[in-house]
């Protein structure tokens, strides 16, 4: 019963449309009607600016982190030992982020929320992926490419140095999610029509 409620809660946390809330509350803009129409951090940077972009990205990261920490919170609040790997709850937050019930099931591309799972479960791996992301972004100026490269780097790193099979499997699933959600970006990168960031 508790596990089912936590899974639903993880999905609902992931479904919180940070970009939509911040855009409408502080800028009187629905970012779904501007730029790429995406609810994630990249479109928030493009439509609302750096401050809003960072706020949305951090919020989306924390959704994955909080969902991953739900078993610990349940133990502290109800004194119940949750035997399911916390990564599972993080996955449901990612699904909520991509298909949010609060925003017509049209959400972001799962990058920040996926990173948030690692922040809650393997902070060192999160820092490595973050470093790869910004290095790739500095070189290429493509957020989409940087997101995919960071995901692949995290997966390769875990395959080489980690013995946690579930972590490796979930990283593989998350990387597939990220690449699939960026399939249109891949075409634009090939055609050299993908927008580049101007703030770095």
Rounded Cα distance between 29 and 130, Å, is 29
Rounded Cα distance between 124 and 90, Å, is 17
pTM for this one? 0.90
pLDDT for 76 equals: 84
Rounded Cα distance between 200 and 196, Å, is 10
pLDDT for 170 equals: 87
pLDDT for 149 equals: 96
pLDDT tens string for the chain (200 positions)? 788 999 999 999 999 999 999 999 999 999 999 988 888 888 999 899 999 999 999 999 999 999 999 998 888 888 878 888 899 999 999 999 999 999 999 888 889 999 999 999 999 999 999 999 999 999 999 999 999 999 999 999 989 887 788 889 988 988 998 898 899 999 999 999 998 887 76
Task: With CA atoms as reference, report the closest residue to 53 among 63, 39, 67.
Answer: 39
């Amino acid at each position: 019963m508790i596990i089912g409620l936590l899974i639903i809660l993880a999905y609902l946390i992931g479904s919180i449309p940070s970009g939509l809330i911040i855009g409408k509350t502080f800028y009187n803009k629905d970012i779904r009607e501007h730029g790429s129409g995406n609810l994630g951090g990249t479109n928030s940077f493009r439509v609302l600016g750096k401050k809003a972009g960072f706020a949305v990205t951090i919020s989306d990261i924390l959704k994955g982190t909080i969902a991953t920490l739900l078993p610990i919170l349940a133990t502290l609040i109800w004194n119940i030992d949750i035997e399911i790997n916390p990564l599972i709850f993080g996955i449901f937050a990612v699904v909520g982020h991509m298909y949010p019930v609060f925003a017509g099931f049209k959400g972001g591309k799962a990058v920040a929320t996926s990173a948030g799972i690692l922040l809650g479960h393997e902070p060192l791996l999160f820092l490595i992926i973050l470093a790869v992301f910004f290095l790739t972004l500095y070189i290429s100026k493509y957020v989409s490419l940087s997101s995919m490269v960071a995901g692949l780097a995290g997966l390769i790193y875990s395959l080489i140095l980690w013995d946690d099979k579930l972590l490796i499997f979930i990283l593989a699933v998350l990387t597939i999610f990220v690449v699939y959600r960026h399939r249109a970006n891949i075409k634009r990168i090939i055609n050299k029509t993908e927008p580049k960031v101007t703030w770095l």
